[in-house]
Amino acid sequence: MKEHISNYDKLLEAFGEKKVKTKHLKQKAEKKAAQKKLTRKMKIDRALKRQESLKSLRSRCAYNFKHLREVNAADHEFVVRIKKLESKLNQILS
C-alpha cells in the first residue's frame, strides 16, 4: 500500500530544504542580482548624475540666498543670519 503524502507535507519539506522562496525573498534576490550587473559605465554615469544634481542644488540655493540678501539688505541682523545659514548649507553639501 502506498503512503499518502499530503500537499502540506510536501510544502513543509520544501521549506525545510529552502527550495521555496517567499515573494519578498524573490524580490530581494532579484534586486540584489540587478545591482551586481552594473557595468563600469553605468557606475560612472550614476556618479556623474549625483554630482550634477548636487551642483544644480548648490546653484539654486546660492541664487536664493543671494536674492534674499539683496532684498533684505536694510535688515543687517537678518542678512547675518542668512549668511550663517548659507555657510552651514555649504558645509552640508560639500
Query: What's the total number of domains in the chain?
Result: 2
DSSP H stretches of helix in 5-71: 7-16, 23-36, 40-71
Domain assignment of residue 42, yes or no:
no
Quote the cell numbers at residue 2: 502506498
In a domain, residue 10? The reply is yes
Query: Tens digits of per-residue pLDDT, 36-93?
Result: 777 888 889 999 999 999 999 999 999 999 999 999 999 999 999 999 999 999 898 8
Whether 57 and 94 map to the same domain: the answer is yes
Per the domain annotation, does 90 fall within a domain? yes
Q: The pTM is what?
A: 0.52
**1 and 32 part of one domain:** yes
Residues 1 and 33 in one domain: yes
Q: How many angstroms separate the CA atoms of 82 and 69, rounded?
A: 7
Other beta carbons within 10 angstroms of residue 11's beta carbon come to 11
Domain of 7? Answer: 1-37
- CA-based max dimension of the chain: 99
User: In terms of domains, do 58 and 91 share one?
Assistant: yes
In this structure, the answer to whether residues 91 and 61 fall within a common structural domain is yes
